[in-house]
Structures are given as structure tokens and as C-alpha cells.
Amino acid sequence: MTNGNLLIIDENTSVLSALELLLKPQFKNIVTTSSPDQIVNLLEDSCFDAILLDINFSTGIDAGNAEANWLHRILDIEPDNSVIMMTTYNDVELAVKAVKEGAVDFILKPWDNSKLESTINAAVRLTKTRQEVRHLELKEKGLKSELNKIHQNIIGSAPVWMETLKKVRKAAGTDANILITGETGVGKNLIAKELFRLSKHFNEVFIDLNVEMTSETLFESKMFGHVKETMTHTDDECLGKFEVGNGGTLFLDDIAHISLPLQNQILKVLQNQDIRRVGGQTTKPVDIRLVCSTNTDLQDLANKGLFSEALLNSI
């Protein structure tokens, strides 16, 4: 079975039933529709790895070039959609035109079962490749931003400092999340970087975020990322700190300034090891070590109901 989601659009309900019956053993999820009222909502609410679109599907579209209009509307919602046109021999020229305008392929009615399945599987692979490329481009953009930051090295020989470094080396060898406490200016960020440098994740990336310097309205987007056009200040999708730092270490400085609702979201990531971008419909797996710092007594805040006891126990 292909681990993919398939959308089939055709005015002929008999065709929809036949395709669903044929393809059901091959695909994890198949959605069929003959209603134009459902198409936009389906595309906005779900991610499809391949879409079969009947070339004569004109419902809900003004007369003239109907197949291209629906193709364009689908690709406007998600440019990475892999659309396969279904056509008869009489409409092959229209199908070729549709491919030039963004469809990935076309199949003829009546179809050959083997040809149909191989065409859809190729479209699914293309969709996944496009998604991987997009993800790598976004991650590269995020990494370049992080790598442009200046990192300091630890310098010091005081006995108290050396004892602290001894504890750091011991903690660095584990996969446990870490909470660093201390007054402002004692070097908590340097300790976090040293934890990362000595850890087995050192070949991955170190991501940091100063919570106090980040407005709450932007914090969720910075942490979890957002899909295209979710945030009013940008039309681009963006990876959050969790995705950019996947496999490495995420350092949250001044964690006491995070609101309770956002604390619960972070706790959910630690428990489920996945994230959902702001405005997104799907979750993405993440494997990250969380290091936090504070100059506040978090246990006292937790006793007062101002900090999540469960999150405190997780870090």
C-alpha cells in the first residue's frame, strides 16, 4: 500500500466509484468528489499526494477553458500539487495543453489499470520529492540565519566555575532536557553552548531564542513555523526553531516569560515529538534536545499556577 493521500474529481459518480474500488488497496486515503463546493475546502484542509482531475469537469466554472480553470485554481492553492488529467481520445490536445500549464501527466479513459497505477505512483513520488526539496530549502535558510550569529567560547579558571563545567560535562553525555538557573549575567547562554559542544549532537545545529526579547504574537510562529499566508507580515512559509534545529539542540533563554498556553504547546512537542506549523493541517516529527534557562524560581511560579508543573518536570 502506498502511504499517500489521493483526491479524485469527476462529475461522473460511476467513475469515482470505479476508481475508488480499484485504487483503495493501493492508497492509504482516497477522497472523491463531484461537487465544486467541496474542492477548495478539501484542498485547504488536507494535503494530497496526487489529484486526478477529469478534463471535462466544468461544474462551478464559467463556460470556456473549464479544465484549465480548475487546474489553475488547484495549483493556486498549493503549487506543489501533482495533478493528473483524465481525458478521452477526443480531448488529448486539451490534456497536452494542461500538462504545459502545470499538470504532471494525463491518462486516457477507459484506462489501463497498470498504466493508471504507475502514473499515480509517479505523481506521488514527485509530490514527496517537491516537499523534501522545499523543506531543505527552508531549513537551509533557517540554518544560514543561525550560523551568522556570533558564538562565544568559555574562558575562566575559578574553582566554582570549574566545578560548574564538571557538571556540564556530565550532563552533556545524556539526552536529557536541561534547565540552567542563575542570576542575570552569570553566563547561562555559554553553559548552554558548552552542553551542546560536548554532546553527541555536536555535528547537528544549535538554535537559540531569547524568549524575553520575542513578542508573544511572534513567539508561536518562531517556535513552530507557519504555512504560507498565515502571518500577515509575510507571504512565505517558514520553518520554526523546532524544525530548523531538528536533530540538534534548542536553547530557550528566559523560559519563565513564556505564557501558559505556549508552555503547554512546548510540552506537547516534548511528549509527542512532533510539531504542527501555525495554520498547518499536518504534523511533522522532530527529535530535539531542549535546553532552557531562567533567573526565576520556576517551582515557586508553578506553585502559584503561573508555570506548568508538567513542563518543569520535563526540563
Q: What is the pLDDT of residues 76-107, one digit of tens each?
A: 887 788 999 888 777 777 778 888 888 888 88
Q: Is residue 253 within 8 Å of residue 301, measured between CB atoms?
A: no
Q: What is the CATH number of the domain that holds 274?
A: 3.40.50.300
Long-range Cβ contacts of 16-21 (<8 Å, 24+ apart)? 19/52
**189 in the same domain as 114:** no
**268 in the same domain as 155:** yes
Average of per-residue pLDDT across 45-60: 78
**160 in the same domain as 93:** no
Q: What is the pLDDT of residues 144-202, one digit of tens each?
A: 556 545 455 566 667 877 888 888 888 888 888 999 988 887 788 888 888 888 888 87
The torsion angle over the Cα atoms of residues 179, 171, 271 and 280, rounded to 10 degrees, is: 70
CA nearest neighbour of 120 among 55, 21, 50: 50
**221 in the same domain as 158:** yes
User: Three-state SS across 114-162?
Assistant: HHHHHHHHHHHHHHHHHHHHHHHHHHHHHHHHHHCCCCCCCCCCCHHHH
CA dihedral sign of residues 135, 141, 144, 149: negative
Q: Is residue 34 within 8 Å of residue 59, measured between CB atoms?
A: yes
Residue 166 domain-assigned (yes or no): yes
Average pLDDT over the chain, rounded to an integer: 81
**95 in the same domain as 161:** no
> Which positions ≥6 away from 30 have C-beta within 8 Å?
5, 6, 8, 19, 20, 23, 24
The predicted structure's pLDDT at residue 177: 92
**What range defines the domain where residue 97 resides?**
2-133
With a cut of 60, say whether residue 256 has pLDDT above it. Answer: yes
Q: What is the pTM of this model?
A: 0.54
Domain boundary (133, 166, 196) is at 133
Instruction: Find where cell 459518480 sits.
Output: 13
Domain boundary (133, 166, 181) is at 133
With a cut of 80, say whether residue 120 has pLDDT above it. Answer: yes
Mode of pairing for the β-strands spanning 283-285 and 274-276: antiparallel
The predicted structure's pLDDT at residue 64: 45
Residue 139 domain-assigned (yes or no): no
**289 in the same domain as 225:** yes
Mode of pairing for the β-strands spanning 249-253 and 27-33: unpaired
With a cut of 80, say whether residue 305 has pLDDT above it. Answer: yes
**201 in the same domain as 307:** yes
Q: What is the pLDDT of residues 25-40, one digit of tens each?
A: 888 889 999 887 788 8
Residue 56 domain-assigned (yes or no): yes
**195 in the same domain as 122:** no
Residue 142 domain-assigned (yes or no): no
Number of domains in the chain: 2
Residue 297 domain-assigned (yes or no): yes
**163 in the same domain as 105:** no
- Give the type of residue at 207: I
Burial class (CB in 10 A: 0-12, 13-18, 19+), 291: buried
With a cut of 60, say whether residue 62 has pLDDT above it. Answer: no
The predicted structure's pLDDT at residue 293: 92
| Residue 188 DSSP class | H
Q: 171-194 burial by CB neighbour count: b if 16+ within 10 A, else e?
A: bbeeeebbbbeeeeeebbbbbbbb
**92 in the same domain as 181:** no
Residue 206 domain-assigned (yes or no): yes
**159 in the same domain as 92:** no
Residue 156 domain-assigned (yes or no): yes
Q: Is residue 255 within 8 Å of residue 307, measured between CB atoms?
A: no
CA nearest neighbour of 128 among 50, 71, 60, 72: 50
Q: What is the CATH number of the domain that holds 116?
A: 3.40.50.2300
Domain boundary (100, 133, 166) is at 133
**223 in the same domain as 112:** no
Residue 198 domain-assigned (yes or no): yes
